[in-house]
Amino acid sequence: MQAIEAFIEKQGGPQVIDWRSVTLGDPGPGEVLLRQTAVGLNYIDTYHRDGTYPVELPGGLGVEAAGEVIAIGPDVHGLQPGDRVATFGPQRNAYASARLVPAASLFKLPPGIDDETAAAALLKACTVEALVERCARVEAGATVLVHAAAGGVGLILVQWLKAIGASVIGTVSTEAKEHAAREAGADHVIRYKQEDVAAHIREITDGQGVPVTFDGIGMATWATSLKATARRGLIVSYGNAGGPVTGVNLGVLAQHGSQFVTRPTLFDYYLHPGERAEGAARVFEMIESGAVRITVGQRYSLEDAARAHADLEAGRTTGSSLLIPERS
């Protein structure tokens, strides 16, 4: 089977993304030949591309995609040609029209979830499930801060938190993103370019601060997160969109009220097959019930990945972004 795939020979800006044609053979033991219909764009892709996260070179890009099983190799159980499936890695090489994938990394999609929704949601929604229910263990009635509340993860976080009974304060950059965050259910939305976020949050919480802060921005919001989080509160720092948090003096946590901070990654919470299955089932349940609606804000052709990366890094996207392979 012929396919096209992205690859990088060095790390750098979006311009380092290149493309090549490949011939895919039959799937080997434990493998599936997957024709991809939609590819998810995630901030982690930019970290692999720019060197924030070192990767083996030359190599592929992308971890999230959905599509149709074309063929299965020996020792593959529970999947058949024609099945609709999705994956969020950890293997890189999702920026492709087709590829060979370990069957163990695939989730069979329920009839009620289409391919684009799956590719836009699986990594982000599983991240949210892990952050909210396994890492922070947010309880009903808590008031929670979500930075970048109109982003791909942010919109899902807001909806998930509301579904479990939390009150949500979101930060955004523009009027359009404020509208998106409010539509998702945010109780309060703060435009961080116009307001003192920490001061406003202290007003909302009667001076207490929030017990949990979800911060996918990193260094650019670190000081705000410290000031906005309550005594003995938890900062969940899960991303680096505003640069990685480095050189942290642990005494700062004491100065702000004996706070806790964690830097979780999804795969530490989805380490074992049982954990992966339970998490994905919970995500599919939340989507199919309508508690979480997936917003696809942007669609790009597969080979327009460089522009998609530039838009994502410049903050020009809302909700999830997809790369769409040309249908053969």
Q: What is the pLDDT of residues 216-239, one digit of tens each?
A: 999 999 999 999 999 999 999 999
Q: What is the mean pLDDT of the chain?
A: 96
pLDDT of residue 126: 96
In this prediction, residue 241 carries a pLDDT of 86
**Unique residue bearing structure tokens 């522009």:** 307
Please, where are the H alpha helices in the chain?
43-50, 115-129, 152-163, 175-184, 197-204, 219-228, 251-255, 266-269, 273-288, 305-313
Average the pLDDT over 270-287 and give the result. Answer: 94
- Is pLDDT above 70 for 328? no
- The C-alpha R_g of the chain, in whole angstroms, comes to 20
Farthest-apart Cα atoms in the chain, separation: 63
Pairing status of strand 260-262 against strand 229-237: parallel
Reported as a pLDDT band with limits 50, 70 and 90, residue 321 is very high
Nearest to 55 by CA among 8, 102, 124: 8
C-beta of residue 157 within 8 angstroms of C-beta of residue 149: yes
pTM of the model: 0.90
Per-residue model confidence as pLDDT tens digits over 103-136: 999 999 999 999 999 999 999 999 999 999 999 9
Of 33-37, 143-147, 240-244, 255-259, the least confident: 240-244
Q: Is the pLDDT confidence value at 250 over 90?
A: yes
Give the per-residue pLDDT at 82: 98
* Mean pLDDT of the 300-317 span: 96
Percent of the chain scoring above 70 in pLDDT? 100
Q: What is the reported pLDDT for 327?
A: 80
Domains 2-121+294-324 and 140-263 in one fold: no
Mean pLDDT of 238-259: 92
Cα 121 → chain centroid: 8
Does residue 38 have a pLDDT over 70?
A: yes
| pLDDT at site 214 | 98
Domain over 140-263 is classified CATH 3.40.50.720: yes
- Contact by Cβ (8 Å): 167, 185: no
Q: Domain residue spans in the chain?
A: 2-121+294-324, 140-263
For residue 257, is pLDDT > 70?
A: yes
Q: Which long-range contacts (CB under 8 A, 24 or more apart) does 160-163 make?
A: 160/125, 160/128, 160/129, 160/132, 160/286, 160/291, 160/292, 161/132, 163/286, 163/291, 163/292
* 2-121+294-324 CATH choice from 3.40.50.10680, 3.90.1150.10, 3.90.180.10, 3.40.50.720: 3.90.180.10
**Is the pLDDT score of 27 beyond 70?**
yes
- Asked if the model's pLDDT at residue 319 lies above 90, the reply is no
